[in-house]
Each structure stands twice: as structure tokens, then as C-alpha cells.
């Protein structure tokens, strides 16, 4: 798959693992702490290495200073002219503080890992301040596609993803056969507090299945739970391969584990969230630079649907029991979307490295042949989705003029350029057209009910949503 390519120099600076960030995420990893970001960093670093690039890793502020030759009294590191920099929001702030003004010459080659995504209005510092959207992780004024997310959340950002561990390829067959599985469920929740208030739900599941857990503290669990404590990844996979159901408890949101469960042949019980949760009403999302709403614990899995994923109301025990019956009544095969396989990740990262060009005005990727214009009185994210496509913000500039609109049968009677909205290009019922005068405010996710948006959609490779068919 990897063609002859130039080897490039890549700086990887995961701010979250630096001691200076005080996130202590690496320490917590062995104690039931969140693993998602670490999974993504290690998958990214492995991918870059396998693709043959020269990777330089800095994991502290002194490392970073040394790399750029700042305050060391010596010369910059011989590799300090990277072609690409992967960091995260904490790391970007560190790079700015270490390099000061001159950080700016690197701005185009920076990619910011950002688990939950940054929507354009939160990213744009003066818009965010003016509209009370300022947040500790927003206001970075990057190009929204520079934010690389864990799942394909908003098409305004780039979907980086990660690799789901599975043994589909190595240990074929026997282990996966559902009839070799025990009548066993594994619960998704490493911390005892995630289990609080879920007893009635677990009792119903326990009528059918032995319940196993990997929880940091077994007090507070129902006494029928077989708890294994915090165990390593391979042990979790072994438990998944013995189980039939992976049971969500409604938190944590949008982690890697449900996909790992599907890849190891479990069905996933995915709790609905009612009301929908977002940074507007949920402590966990507070301060995150987006207002994306989720209506279940795992929206990506929810879209995969039955027979793999059963999205249920945890408080409706009839519904839970119905889902369990249906799951236990059939053989569920291991399932892994291509974009989360090793090969899918290699393909995606390779294409992004070779083709994604965010700063040159002559950027020609994705190719315009992939563009399909959709007009609708809703967000472009939704409008493209309804057409079986995805919003592609890289095409916004192409649509942002009266000529292109005319070619798409929008006959602007009058028009203006404005930076007063997030939905442009758009027009009203008397064909007054608005064009975006601030490119950082192009956005897939906003809508305005009085306006029709002109949306830049594109196709995608099945199960590889980051790439269009002509993109590779």
C-alpha cells in the first residue's frame, strides 16, 4: 500500500503525557484511568514508524526546548526542521510558550489531536469571545481541519481515529464461535462510581448472563459480579472472547472499548442518553470547544446498529430484556469497521500525510471531482449525511462566489460578503446571497432556518469516511 514516498521528519509532542501538563494520565492508566488518548497516541506513533517516517518524540518541556534549541545554549537538534508536527491542545500551548513568536512559522504543519473535536465558532477567538463561547480548550485560531479527532465527530475537523485491537486476522475461527462462548456479559466501567444506580439494569442482565467486571474497587458492586480488577489489554480481550454481551453503563462516553468488544465478537448494549448530553448540560463535556449533542453513550457504535449494537433505554427493563433475548437468540460474528483496522489506519494516515495541504492556496486535495453540491435549510453535516455523503470543508472556498453558485442553479439577485454568520455561502427566499469573508468561519455544523445553505459534500470509501473515492 505504501508507495515510494519521501521520508519526512515528524515531531510528535503529546502534551498530555508531559509532567508539566499535570494531567497525570500516564500514571492513571494503570489504575482505571482513561486510556483513549494514550491508545490514539501509541497507534499514531506506530503508524508513522511503519510508514517509514523519521519520528522524533518529545515528552517534556526540556525535551521540547532541546529539540528546538531554545535556552540550551547550544544548537538546535539536527532534526529541528520538521515537515509535520503532531501535538495536542496542551502541547500546542507548550510549543507556543517555548518558541514564542517564531512558533508561527510552524503553524501550517501542526496537527492537533483533539479527542472530542473543536467546532469553528469555538476555534475562532474573536467570534468565541463575542458570543460567549470562550473555553479553556478553544480559541486557538487554527484551521478547523488541523484538529484530528478520535471518531468522525464533526466534518469540520479531520478524522484520525485509532486501531482497534482484535485477533480477527491472527487467531481465526474457533475462539470466536459464539457457541464456544459462555453465557457471560462483561461490563464496560473500570471505576466503581460508573456502576452506581445501575443495579436494576444489571439485575435484568444477570437473569440471563453471568456478569463480569474489571473494576478498580469491588465494594459497591452487586455481589453476583465476578470482578477481575484492573487487568491488562490482552486479558480484557480474552474476557470479551468468552462473553456474548458488552454492557454499557452510559459512561464513559465515546471510548475505544465498545469497538474492541465488537471486534472480539460481543454485542454492545449502548445506553440511550435522555436528554441528549453536550457541553451545555453535562459536566464531562463542559469547557470542550463544541456543542455537539450525543443521544447515546457511543454515537459511532449506535450508527453501526443491530445485530452488533443495541441502543436501549437503561431504565426500561422491558426494552433491555427484549434486546438481550434477541442477542442471545442469534450468532453474532466479530465486526470491525475498516477504518479502525491496522490497514485502514495506515491507509488513512498515509494519504493524509501525502495529500492534506492546509495552507497553500493551490491546494488540490481532496480533488474537486469528489464535490457534490447539496442545497438545504439545515446544517451541511446533516444535509450531506441525508444524501449519503459527508460535508467537506476543504471545498467551501470553491463554492464561495456567485459564479459557482450560478453553475449550481442558485441565481443570486443581490449578494454580500460577511463574517457575521457560520452558514455561508447561503441565500434567502428572495435570492439574496451571503458569502463568507472569514475562511475560519466556514462550518459544516451550523444552520439558520431562514437561509438555504449551499453545502460542499463529497463521497467516501465505505467504512473509511476520511477519504473520498478519488482521494487515494
* Pairing state between β 414-418 and 371-376: unpaired
Inter-CA distances, 111 with 85, 89, 158, 384, Å:
6, 10, 9, 25
Q: Nearer Cβ to ligand NAG, position 3 or 450? A: 450
Contacting range for ligand NAG; rule: CB under 6 A; set: 91-99, 250-258, 287-295, 429-437: 429-437
- Applying CB under 6 A, does 432 fall inside the site for ligand NAG? yes
Shortest Cβ distance from residue 274 to ligand NAG (Å)? 10
- Applying CB under 6 A, does 207 fall inside the site for ligand NAG? no
Rounded to whole angstroms, the Cα distance separating 114 from 136 reads 13
Rounded to whole angstroms, the Cα distance separating 109 from 91 reads 14
Shortest Cβ distance from residue 453 to ligand NAG (Å)? 15
Pick from 349, 352, 258: nearest CA to 299: 258
DSSP string, 388-400: T-EE-GGGHHHHS
Q: How many residues bind to ligand NAG according to rule CB under 6 A?
A: 11
Contacting range for ligand NAG; rule: CB under 6 A; set: 15-23, 210-218, 287-295, 323-331: 323-331
Rounded to whole angstroms, the Cα distance separating 351 from 332 reads 33
- Applying CB under 6 A, does 199 fall inside the site for ligand NAG? no
Contacting range for ligand NAG; rule: CB under 6 A; set: 324-332, 358-366, 398-406, 463-471: 324-332
- Applying CB under 6 A, does 413 fall inside the site for ligand NAG? no
Inter-CA distances, 70 with 10, 33, 102, 422, 444, Å:
18, 34, 11, 39, 39
Please pick, from the candidates 31, 318, 418, 420, the single residue that binds ligand NAG as defined by CB under 6 A: 318
Rg value, the chain, Cα: 24
Rounded to whole angstroms, the Cα distance separating 412 from 140 reads 34
Rounded to whole angstroms, the Cα distance separating 187 from 214 reads 8
- Applying CB under 6 A, does 322 fall inside the site for ligand NAG? yes
Shortest Cβ distance from residue 443 to ligand NAG (Å)? 20
Shortest Cβ distance from residue 416 to ligand NAG (Å)? 8
Residues 159-190: b if buried by 16+ CB within 10 A, e if exposed = bbbbbbbbbbeeeeeeebebeebeebbbbbbb
Contacting range for ligand NAG; rule: CB under 6 A; set: 80-88, 193-201, 234-242, 428-436: 428-436
Rounded to whole angstroms, the Cα distance separating 44 from 464 reads 17
Rounded to whole angstroms, the Cα distance separating 12 from 175 reads 38
Please pick, from the candidates 126, 183, 428, 437, the single residue that binds ligand NAG as defined by CB under 6 A: 428
- Applying CB under 6 A, does 325 fall inside the site for ligand NAG? yes
- Applying CB under 6 A, does 429 fall inside the site for ligand NAG? yes
- Applying CB under 6 A, does 449 fall inside the site for ligand NAG? no
- Applying CB under 6 A, does 329 fall inside the site for ligand NAG? yes
Cis check for the bond before 307: say yes or no (omega within 30 of 0).
yes
- Applying CB under 6 A, does 331 fall inside the site for ligand NAG? no
Contacting range for ligand NAG; rule: CB under 6 A; set: 210-218, 267-275, 325-333, 404-412: 325-333
Rounded to whole angstroms, the Cα distance separating 365 from 202 reads 49
- Applying CB under 6 A, does 430 fall inside the site for ligand NAG? yes
Shortest Cβ distance from residue 212 to ligand NAG (Å)? 24
Rounded to whole angstroms, the Cα distance separating 81 from 9 reads 8
Q: Nearer Cβ to ligand NAG, position 81 or 318? A: 318
- Applying CB under 6 A, does 72 fall inside the site for ligand NAG? no
Q: Which residues bind ligand NAG (CB under 6 A)?
A: 316, 318-319, 322, 325-326, 329, 428-430, 432
Amino acid at each position: 500500500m505504501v508507495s515510494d514516498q519521501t521520508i519526512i521528519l515528524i515531531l510528535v509532542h503529546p502534551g498530555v503525557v508531559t509532567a508539566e501538563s499535570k494531567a497525570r494520565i500516564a500514571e492513571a492508566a494503570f489504575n482505571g484511568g482513561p486510556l483513549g488518548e494514550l491508545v490514539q497516541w501509541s497507534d499514531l506513533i506506530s503508524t508513522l514508524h511503519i510508514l517509514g517516517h523519521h519520528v522524533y518524540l518529545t515528552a517534556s518541556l526540556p525535551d521540547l526546548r532541546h529539540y528546538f534549541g531554545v535556552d540550551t545554549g547550544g544548537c538546535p537538534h539536527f532534526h529541528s526542521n520538521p515537515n509535520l508536527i503532531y501535538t495536542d491542545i496542551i502541547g500546542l500551548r507548550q510549543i507556543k510558550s517555548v518558541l514564542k513568536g517564531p512558533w508561527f512559522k510552524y503553524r501550517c504543519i501542526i496537527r492537533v489531536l483533539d479527542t472530542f473535536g473543536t467546532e469553528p465558532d469555538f476555534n475562532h477567538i474573536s467570534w468565541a469571545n463575542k458570543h460567549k463561547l470562550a473555553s479553556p480548550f478553544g480559541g486557538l485560531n487554527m484551521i478547523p481541519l488541523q484538529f484530528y479527532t478520535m471518531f468522525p465527530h464533526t466534518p469540520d475537523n479531520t478524522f484520525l481515529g485509532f486501531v482497534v485491537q482484535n485477533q480477527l486476522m491472527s487467531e481465526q475461527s474457533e475462539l470466536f464461535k459464539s457457541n464456544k462462548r459462555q453465557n457471560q456479559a462483561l461490563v464496560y466501567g473500570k471505576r466503581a462510581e460508573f456502576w452506581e444506580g445501575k443495579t436494576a439494569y444489571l439485575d435484568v442482565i444477570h437473569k440471563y448472563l453471568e456478569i463480569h467486571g474489571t473494576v478498580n474497587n469491588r465494594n459497591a458492586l452487586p455481589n453476583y459480579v465476578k470482578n477481575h480488577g484492573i487487568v491488562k489489554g490482552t486479558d480484557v480481550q480474552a474476557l470479551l472472547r468468552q462473553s456474548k454481551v458488552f454492557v454499557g453503563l452510559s459512561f464513559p462516553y465515546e471510548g475505544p472499548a465498545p469497538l474492541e468488544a465488537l471486534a472480539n465478537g460481543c454485542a454492545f448494549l449502548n445506553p440511550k442518553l435522555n436528554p441528549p448530553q453536550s457541553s451545555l448540560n453535562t459536566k464531562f463535556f463542559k469547557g470542550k470547544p463544541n456543542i455537539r449533542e450525543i443521544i447515546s453513550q457511543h454515537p459511532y457504535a449506535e450508527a453501526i446498529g443491530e445485530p452488533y449494537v443495541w441502543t436501549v433505554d437503561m431504565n426500561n427493563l422491558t426494552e433491555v430484556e427484549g434486546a438481550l433475548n434477541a442477542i442471545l437468540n442469534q450468532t453474532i460474528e466479530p465486526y470491525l469497521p475498516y477504518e479502525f483496522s491496522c490497514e485502514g489506519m495506515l491507509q488513512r494516515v498515509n494519504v493524509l500525510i501525502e495529500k492534506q495541504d492546509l495552507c497553500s492556496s493551490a491546494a488540490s486535495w481532496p480533488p474537486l471531482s469528489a464535490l457534490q453540491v447539496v442545497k438545504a435549510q439545515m446544517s451541511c453535516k446533516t444535509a450531506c449525511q441525508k444524501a449519503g455523503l459527508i460535508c467537506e470543508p476543504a471545498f467551501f472556498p470553491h463554492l464561495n462566489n456567485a459564479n459557482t453558485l450560478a453553475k449550481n442553479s442558485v441565481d443570486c439577485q443581490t449578494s454580500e460578503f460577511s463574517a457575521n454568520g457560520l452558514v455561508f455561502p447561503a441565500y434567502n427566499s428572495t435570492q439574496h446571497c451571503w458569502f463568507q469573508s472569514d475562511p475560519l468561519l466556514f462550518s459544516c455544523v451550523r444552520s439558520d432556518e431562514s437561509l438555504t445553505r449551499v453545502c460542499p459534500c463529497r463521497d467516501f470509501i465505505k467504512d473509511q469516511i476520511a477519504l473520498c473515492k478519488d482521494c487515494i
